[in-house]
Amino acid sequence: MDDSAKFDTVKGQGGETHQQVHHSGPHTPEGHLTTNQGIRVSDNQNSLKSGARGPTLLEDFVLREKIFHFDHERIPERIVHARGSGAHGYFEMTDSLADITTADLFQRAGERVPVFVRFSTVAGGAGSVDTPRDVRGFAVKFYTKEGNWDLVGNNIPVFFIQDAMKFPDLVHAVKMEADRAYPQAGSAHDTFWDFASLMPETTHMLMWAMSDRTIPRSLRTIEGFGVHTFRFVSAEGKSTFVKFHWKPKLGLQSTVWDEALKLQAADNDFHRRDLYEAIDSGAFPEWELGVQLFDQALADSLPYDVLDATKIIPEEVVPLRIVGRLVLDRNPDNFFAEVEQVAYCPANIVLGIDFTNDPLLQGRLFSYLDTQKSRLGTANFHQLPINAPKCPMRNFQRDGQMQMAVPKGRANYEPNSLGAHGEEGGPRECPVTGFTSFAAGEGKDEQGDKLRVRAELFADHYSQARLFWKSQTDAERAHIASSFVFELSKVGLKMVAPRMVANLRNVDEDLAARVASGLGIDLPEKAPAARAPIDIAPSDALSIHKNMKATLEGRKVGILICKDTDAGALKTLKADIEAAGGTPFIVGVQIHGIPLSDGTKADADGQLLGSPSQLFDAVFVLLSEAGTQRHLKEAASIEWVMNAFGHLKAIGHTKESHPLLEKAGVVHDEGVVLADEFIAAACKRYYEREPSLRTLA
């Protein structure tokens, strides 16, 4: 019997139909699933909602216990997103949204709000490396005049699951296997793919995760997304749905898989170092904030549900409106005090921004406070400087571990009449200026029976995965298929790969055939789809390659030099790279006192063995004829050039250094050039080179 997720049609009291997801696998000898109190669980897939698209209910003790226990499984590092980097900066409004939201930070063009941003990997522990194939967290804390707003998202606009009830299961599956505590920071193992192959709703996210989005070149070249649909509320009480996008100024950039693997050996802190050094040098990372704004009528017209976190709205359907920019201009003064102790929570919103009934978002609103209390050890974590609002904060919450405030007076309750007797009565609520939640759901099925169900359109798990696949270039499709092959080749459970490929047949037959061929298995029968997939027009915004910028700005160029390197050529090359916005990095066999052709001496920025070419965006081999002969005997030099070519980077060279390129197997193409063509060539990667270098699915 197939163990995959099933959807049953159920009827509410009013006769409406909804989709109820469950798993129909065989009963195990262990018996019934229960809560920690021994109460049998009837549905472990869906949280309890008021109507199929309604808000998650506080009375859902099954969800509350499951999330509560999950939040406290690890101390003291974060359960997920443990490996992170952060920086201070500001958000500047460039296009007022005063007619759409009352949120103060969106009112006045030109006004700046301080922020703290944390980037992170998801699966690895705090001591893992920066460059595994993984989703990157992108969390922004806005210190607004009206309080803190936390936009807690990722570099991918969708997520693996639709309902927060499944979050502990997802993370347990992707983390180190429980009996052996490995692999660290990777999804290429049995438990993750067993889970994913049984949960068709993961398919769209898997397409993104197997793409180059999860092996970025730099944190400065990733997009960010709020993932969920939120809402803006105007002064008149009108609701407008909103999805948040961060667009990097430098454009999208990624590595290739072999390069990402070698970066883990070359520099465990590659992304952390890159971010720190960019800010330290004054090359401040920058993103534009784009919003997709739409109303209930448009939401109702779409063939997918805007409350489903496994779905996007293509930018061709709802174009982005650029409304501001994010600039990171200051590194942390103390990594622990700021990056490790910062506490984000999606429930932290300000007047004019509100939630929707997205069941994954609703569960996150439960979860984060528990996690912060567990990690930081006190309910007063909000008093830590990195978490404290920069506007006045007054209430009647008192005492607790690590209380740093010294409240005065007798008033620690409300209402009180102490103010009438000459004492400090304390703050009071204000119905006029205080936060009020948007009054009611506007969409269908947002109110009604208490149900453990999902809305009908949530059952379409493949249409948007197909959209993502169709939107990629040929090279990107080859990377995605090859990633599936690599990941599934690490799975020892024999039934998982055929089950996963059976799901992929609903996305694209060519994709499924390529993965099956790469694994050496027969193409399995197509998995039944709970809802027949539809075709959606491709979206260029989903492709990394279509959104790369031909520029050297923010990029690093490695220059291999030797004794007798032409001093004038080195000076000119460095100046040209800097003029184009790049950073030259000199590499030598020695670090200090390298004699050049004119008798002067140069210092290298890095030693050859410690500065492999995977650290750079492009390379130049600036060797003399005699120096080339010496480097022909250096395995590290040959590998330096070989890897740059294999990682599809531009290679500049002198005529004298040509024998080293030949020995490294370099075949001349548009990306292998002499000095006069190098700057233009170094602004891109050469993906057309790849099929001649490695076998791709």
pLDDT band at 1 (very low <50, low <70, confident <90, very high): very low
Structure pTM?
A: 0.91
pLDDT band at 70 (very low <50, low <70, confident <90, very high): confident
> How many of the other CB atoms lie within 10 Å of CB of 555?
22
DSSP assignment of 151-172 equals EEEESSSS-S-SSGGGHHHHHH
User: Residue 454 has what pLDDT?
Assistant: 92
Cα separation, 649 vs 621, whole angstroms: 13
User: Residue 19 has what pLDDT?
Assistant: 67
What are the CB-based long-range contacts (under 8 Å, 24+) for 549-552?
549/250, 549/251, 550/683, 550/684, 551/250, 551/251, 551/580, 551/581, 551/683, 552/577, 552/580, 552/581, 552/582, 552/617, 552/618, 552/679, 552/682, 552/683
Count of residues in the chain: 697
Cα separation, 259 vs 261, whole angstroms: 5
Tokens of 559: 């220059």
- Residue 596 CB partners (closer than 8 Å, separation 6+): 561, 564, 565, 566, 567, 570, 602
Tokens of 125: 């522990």
DSSP assignment of 452-467 equals --B-GGGG--SHHHHH
> How many of the other CB atoms lie within 10 Å of CB of 506?
21
Express as a percent the part of the chain with pLDDT over 90: 76
Cα separation, 37 vs 436, whole angstroms: 36
Q: How many CA atoms lie within 13 A of 2 on its CB side?
A: 18
Whether residue 509 is predicted with pLDDT greater than 60 in this model: the reply is yes
- Name 607's bridge partners: 588
No. of H helices and E strands in the chain?
18, 22
Q: Where in the chain is the domain with CATH 2.40.180.10?
A: 64-171+217-383
pLDDT band at 3 (very low <50, low <70, confident <90, very high): very low
What CATH number does the domain located at 64-171+217-383 have? 2.40.180.10
Whether residue 218 is predicted with pLDDT greater than 60 in this model: the reply is yes
What are 460-493's pLDDT values in tens digits?
999 999 999 999 999 999 999 999 999 999 999 9
What distance lies between CA 252 and its chain's CA centroid? 13
**Three-class SS of 471-534:** CCCHHHHHHHHHHHHHHHHCCCCCCHHHHHHHHHCCCCHHHHHHHHHHHCCCCCCCCCCCCCCC
Cα separation, 305 vs 311, whole angstroms: 7
Which residue's structure tokens are 């429980």?
178
Whether residue 22 is predicted with pLDDT greater than 80 in this model: the reply is no
Cβ atoms 8, 19 nearer than 8 A? yes
- Mean pLDDT for all residues in the chain: 92
Provide the pairing of β-strand 224-225 with 49-50. Answer: unpaired
> How many of the other CB atoms lie within 10 Å of CB of 43?
16
Q: Which residue of the set 46, 148, 154, 348 is catalytic?
A: 154
DSSP assignment of 45-86 equals S---EESTTSPBPTT-HHHHHHHHHHHTSS-SS-SSS-SEEE
User: Residue 178 has what pLDDT?
Assistant: 93
User: Residue 21 has what pLDDT?
Assistant: 64
Whether residue 27 is predicted with pLDDT greater than 50 in this model: the reply is no
Give the angle subtended at the CA of 226 by the CAs of 220 and 227, to the nearest 5°: 115
Cα separation, 541 vs 457, whole angstroms: 24
Whether residue 202 is predicted with pLDDT greater than 60 in this model: the reply is yes
pLDDT band at 426 (very low <50, low <70, confident <90, very high): confident
- Residue 505 CB partners (closer than 8 Å, separation 6+): 512, 523, 524, 526, 527
Cα separation, 219 vs 255, whole angstroms: 12
**Whether residue 81 lies in the annotated active site:** yes
Cβ atoms 291, 320 nearer than 8 A? yes
> Which strand (E) or helix (H) includes residue 90?
strand 84-93
User: Residue 32 has what pLDDT?
Assistant: 83
User: Is residue 76 reached through a cis peptide bond, with omega within 30 degrees of 0 on the bond before it?
Assistant: yes
Q: Where in the chain is the domain with CATH 3.40.50.880?
A: 550-692
Q: Which residue of the set 18, 81, 189, 545 is catalytic?
A: 81
Among 100-109, 431-440, 444-453, name the most confident range: 100-109
CATH topology (fold) of 550-692: Rossmann fold (3.40.50)
User: Residue 310 has what pLDDT?
Assistant: 98
Cα separation, 77 vs 168, whole angstroms: 16
What distance lies between CA 179 and its chain's CA centroid? 28
Residue 520 burial class via C-beta count within 10 angstroms: exposed 0-12, middle 13-18, buried 19 and up? exposed
Cα separation, 401 vs 225, whole angstroms: 35
Whether residue 280 is predicted with pLDDT greater than 90 in this model: the reply is yes
What are 609-667's pLDDT values in tens digits?
999 999 999 999 999 999 999 999 999 999 999 999 999 999 999 999 999 999 999 99
Q: Which among 377, 350, 345, 376 is positioned nearest to 363, based on CA atoms? A: 345
Cα separation, 137 vs 223, whole angstroms: 10
Residue 159 burial class via C-beta count within 10 angstroms: exposed 0-12, middle 13-18, buried 19 and up? buried
Q: Which among 572, 564, 576, 560 is positioned nearest to 619, based on CA atoms? A: 560
pLDDT band at 26 (very low <50, low <70, confident <90, very high): very low
What are 122-179's pLDDT values in tens digits?
999 999 999 999 999 999 999 999 999 999 999 999 999 999 999 999 999 999 999 9
